[in-house]
Amino acid sequence: MDVSWQHTSSLNAAERLDVLNLINRTETVLGREALDETRRRTVVHGWRGEHWLLREGPELVQYALVQGQSHATLEMCGGGFDETLLTLVLEMHEVVDWWTRDSDGSLDNVVRTLQLLRINLPVPQIPVPEGATMRTFTPGIDEVAWLAQNNAAFADHPEQGAWLLDDLEARIHEPWFDPSGFLLLEIKGQIAASCWTKVHELHPDRFGEIYVISVNPTYQGHGLGRVMLSQGLASLRSRGVHRAVLFVDADNVSAQALYRSFGFTLEREDQLLRFSKD
């Protein structure tokens, strides 16, 4: 039977349905997300991209999404690796960064390690310090100020340090968005820190996520990270969640120390592998 990878910049309705079915089937087997949230949204919303499809006869057996031009990033549904696809993609891009999920740590060319940490709830709560006010995000009002605070905190981060208004608004319009779990800490009328939480409502084992957490660089190292994390976890618990997760880079020293001190433990490790034409 003919088995070959083909790519398209735009999935037609039938292809999109095939890909969504494949993602759902893979998620059921793995018991976790089959594709990173941002890439999944590209499929769900039918956005243009470099979509690669592997068919066995009429059946779609694998899918991958490539983003970027000369320096591209690739993730295959399920988070595996495919030598044939790599060769094809390297014909179109100088450098390919390939996300592998559930890595066992034995791979070469690793340029980034992302960890999924988990914790059982509740955890002890840390009160909001005097002189600071905790409130929730108000859509239509807080976007610009939150982007400024969060981008400043993540200035050195490859993905989270350059969010635009569009990136934020797209998420605000997602069905899971719940402003009651998006906490802002104000000091002297300015956002000093924030913690955006998310409840995975449709997961069979409903759980929470610390989706984005950051402290304005001016205020870092003064205990606000601790406050925001404990308040974010309390907000998740108040919505009936017993377990929370978060993603963190293995080399993010301050965040790792903060999470480990709360009792977060490692659930899995994903690795970004780099390949170039020569």
- Among residues 116, 99, 191, 86, the alpha carbon closest in space to that of 147 is found at 191
Cβ-based nearer residue to ligand COA, 184 or 215: 215
Tokens of 117: 């940490």
Cβ-based nearer residue to ligand COA, 34 or 116: 116
Contact positions toward ligand COA, by CB under 6 A? Answer: 153-154, 213-215, 220-226, 248, 252-255, 257-258, 261
Long-range contacts of 98-101 (CB under 8 A, 24+ apart): 98/73, 98/74, 98/272, 98/273, 98/274, 98/275, 99/36, 99/73, 99/74, 99/75, 99/270, 99/271, 99/272, 100/270, 100/271, 100/272, 100/273, 101/32, 101/268, 101/270
Task: Provide the minimum distance between the beta carbon of 82 and ligand COA in the complex, in angstroms, as a whole number.
Answer: 29
Q: List beta partners, residue 32.
A: none
Task: Provide the minimum distance between the beta carbon of 112 and ligand COA in the complex, in angstroms, as a whole number.
Answer: 13
Task: Provide the minimum distance between the beta carbon of 94 and ligand COA in the complex, in angstroms, as a whole number.
Answer: 29
Q: Would you call 6 helix, strand, or coil by DSSP?
A: strand
Q: Would you call 276 helix, strand, or coil by DSSP?
A: strand
Cβ-based nearer residue to ligand COA, 154 or 163: 154
86-121 per-residue burial string, b: 16 or more CB within 10 A, e: under 16: bebbbeebeebbbbbbebeeeeeeeeeebbbbbbeb
Task: Provide the minimum distance between the beta carbon of 176 and ligand COA in the complex, in angstroms, as a whole number.
Answer: 19
Task: Provide the minimum distance between the beta carbon of 35 and ligand COA in the complex, in angstroms, as a whole number.
Answer: 20
Cβ-based nearer residue to ligand COA, 54 or 227: 227
Of all residues in this chain, which one has the CB nearest to ligand COA in the complex? 225
Cβ-based nearer residue to ligand COA, 179 or 223: 223
Task: Provide the minimum distance between the beta carbon of 128 and ligand COA in the complex, in angstroms, as a whole number.
Answer: 13
Task: Provide the minimum distance between the beta carbon of 102 and ligand COA in the complex, in angstroms, as a whole number.
Answer: 19
What gap in Å lies between CA 49 and CA 7, rounded to an integer? 10
Cβ-based nearer residue to ligand COA, 32 or 226: 226
Cβ-based nearer residue to ligand COA, 23 or 212: 212
Tokens of 213: 């957490």
Backbone angles phi, psi at 271, to 5 degrees: -125, 145
